[in-house]
Amino acid sequence: MDAFPDAPFGPADSLELDAVPLAVIQHKGIRLADLRDAFDTGYGAIAAAFAAGRLIPTGPALAIYHGDPMGVFDLELGFPVQAAPSDPIATGDGTAIVASALPTGQAVATTVFGSYDGLGTGWAGLVARAAEAGLHPRGLWIEVYVSDPGIDPDELRTDLLMPVA
C-alpha cells in the first residue's frame, strides 16, 4: 500500500513505507505550542522554493514528529519531492530546506476527517489498534495533510502513518 494513496486509509491499514525523497525544514527540541509558527513559516518557505522552480512536489504536505509529541520533540515538515535538494536551500528566516526521506519499514495508517483538533483522538485510536495486533510505535509519527488547510475544517483529510516494530 502506498503512503500517499488517493483513497483514505481504514481504521488501521498495514503498509510498508519506502524511502520517498523529501524536502523538509527541521526543528530540534520544540513543543506543541511552537507548531503554528513552525508550520506557517516553514510551509511558506517551501512553497516559495516550488514557485522558483527549485523543487518539484510529488505529494501533499507532511510533518514527521521524532520522539514524544506531547513533550519536547524534533520535527521535520515538508513535502515529498521529485528529487531532494543536494544542498541546503536558505529560506531567509535562518532555517534551510534540506534533504530527507520517509522512514522505511512496517507501518500502520488511518485517516482522520475534520478539524486538526481531532488528530489526538485519531492517534490514540491508531496506537490502540496497533497494540491489539502486537505492534509498537517506533517513536516516529507522520501526519500527511491531504487537504489544503484553507478549506472548511469539517472537510479536512489527514492521514496518520505510524512506523511500528
Q: Is the pLDDT of residue 2 over 90?
A: no
| Alpha carbons 112 and 97: distance in angstroms, whole number | 28
Residue 86 lies in a domain: yes
What are the tens digits of pLDDT across the range 69-114?
889 999 999 999 999 999 999 998 889 999 999 999 999 999 999 9
| 5 inside domain | no
Does residue 46 fall inside a structural domain? Answer: yes
- What is the mean pLDDT of the segment spanning 134-163? 94
What is the b/e burial string over 60-75, where b = at least 16 CB atoms within 10 angstroms of the residue's CB?
Answer: bbbbbbbeebeeebeb
Query: Could you report the per-residue pLDDT of 12-58, keeping only the tens digit for each?
Result: 999 999 999 999 999 999 999 999 999 989 999 999 999 999 999 99
For 72, the domain range is: 13-163
Does any domain span residue 47? yes
CATH number at residue 78: 3.20.80.10
* Helix and strand totals (H; E) in the chain: 2, 9
Structure-block grid coordinates of residue 126: 491508531
Q: Quick one: cell of 39?
A: 508550520
Domain-located, residue 6: no
